Amino acid sequence: MKRVMLEVAYDGTKYSGWQIQQNSETVAGVLTKELKRLLGEDILLIGASRTDAGVHAMGNICVFDTESEIPGEKFCYALNHSLPEDIVIQRSCEVPSDFHPRKIKCKKTYEYRIWNADHIQPFNRKYTYFVYKKLDVEKMKEAMGYITGTHDFTAFCSIHTVIPDHVRTIYEAEVFKEGDLITFRITGNGFLYNMVRIIAGTLVQVGLGEKKPESIKDILASEDRSNAGPTAPARGLMLMRIDYSNENK
């Protein structure tokens, strides 16, 4: 028996998130089905990040155990022949049998993308949040600065979050603009349910002048979800990478 890790990229547009659900097509569901077909074994897929419906990924991580003699690095080629075009295995390899993608310390990086122009571009509509009112990027950058560090993010997570510990550390948080595209990039040791999307929705309010940049401090201190902004649409969110490098362990 060996444990294999997959690095998965996917367009989440048509999927009901990562996690397997009854009566809904999910990314993990499609992968599990293809692995069972390829290997003729029952497969339990363990994912690092349970992305929501409509959220995309460049580098989500998952593992599974198998008795197959296929080398770990060959699974990406074996699977990509049969997976739908909106799911691609970027990399595969064998890992230690005790490697668990949610129990090992890591850094996760997300990006949230906003198309800020008079009109949406058709080829961006699935991957950006369209905001036609002009956003003040400098104020958004200032607000993002208050996100970095270790905080209780209760105000920036869904009221349906069930885990008791809402403290997370954000190592880097930045906002940058390229043409009509505004991108928020945030790296942390973990994220709560809807956390990045709520931060994005709050920063949009700052950009529109509805909130002041320094209000982020008060929102964090309040630990009250009602003080933060709306949850921005899922289509603008992408999980960029998960880093398990040695300095994070």
Provide the annotated active-site residues.
Answer: 52
* Rg (alpha carbons) of the chain, rounded to whole number: 19
CB 21 within 8 A of CB 28: no
Tokens at 238, concatenated? 């992408």
Q: Identify the sign of the CA torsion 148, 59, 103, 219.
A: positive
Residue 67 to residue 70: CA distance in whole angstroms: 9
Tokens at 64, concatenated? 């599974």
Residue 60 to residue 109: CA distance in whole angstroms: 10
CB 231 within 8 A of CB 159: no
Could you give the C-alpha distances from 243 to 150, 194, 240, in angstroms and in order? 19, 21, 10
Tokens at 82, concatenated? 């049969």
Tokens at 1, concatenated? 């028996």
CB 235 within 8 A of CB 13: yes
